[in-house]
Amino acid sequence: MEDLFYCFENYPTLPPPLFADALNATYKEHFHPHDFRGTNCSFNNSKFIQTLRQNIGEVTALWIKNPPNTLYNWHIDKDIRKCSINFVIKQSDKAMALYRKPMYDVKEVIYYKTQTVKYIIGKPTILNVKKEHCVINPSDEERIILSLCVRESSYEDTLNFMKTLNITEY
């Protein structure tokens, strides 16, 4: 499902201070109630972000929190993001992000083939946010991610560039 997402298992895990920053960040409602974004993301000053900006254009890092027992409904990102690079900071084993495609070419679709996004705590997964996806958090724990919003480079171009990098630290 490389056209939907790709997990960079070979990249290093985020350093512990970033986990602490995410867990201690102040979260405020963004566009909608229960859409929480963290302020002052220190990752914006990282060497990794600087490398991305120099090669693929504008990239902004932010913390995002999904409250317990919630569904971030099926959607295609309509904002200026071309793709996102997400690092899960905290989530239960029950939480998941999904993509879906209709199983049959019919007028009223009720059956979909789903694909679960592969995440490894603290490692980057690039997402094609121009395809329909959702986040389900059916647990009593909040889910927190570091999300890098890529604004100028397509999913495919960003994926290909990231595959050329030899990242040893952020």
**In CATH, what number is assigned to the domain containing residue 13?**
2.60.120.10
| Residue 108, in any domain of the structure | yes
pLDDT 10s digits, 51-64: 999 999 999 999 99
Q: Is 155 domain-assigned? A: yes
pLDDT computed for residue 19 by the predictor: 94
Q: Looking at the domain assignment, is residue 116 inside a domain?
A: yes
Q: Which residues of the chain have pLDDT under 70?
A: 1, 30-35
169 found inside a domain? no
In a domain, residue 170? The reply is no
Residues of the chain above pLDDT 70, percent: 95
Q: For residue 92, is it within any domain?
A: yes
pTM: 0.92
Residue 30 in domain: yes
CA distances, 145 to each of 69, 85, 112, 161 (Å): 16, 10, 26, 22
* Measured distance CA(133)–CA(91) in Å, rounded: 18
> Would residue 139 count as lying in a domain?
yes
pLDDT in tens, 20-42: 999 988 887 766 555 677 777 89
Provide the residue range defining the domain that includes 28: 5-164
* Average of per-residue pLDDT values in the chain: 92
Total structural domains in the chain? Answer: 1
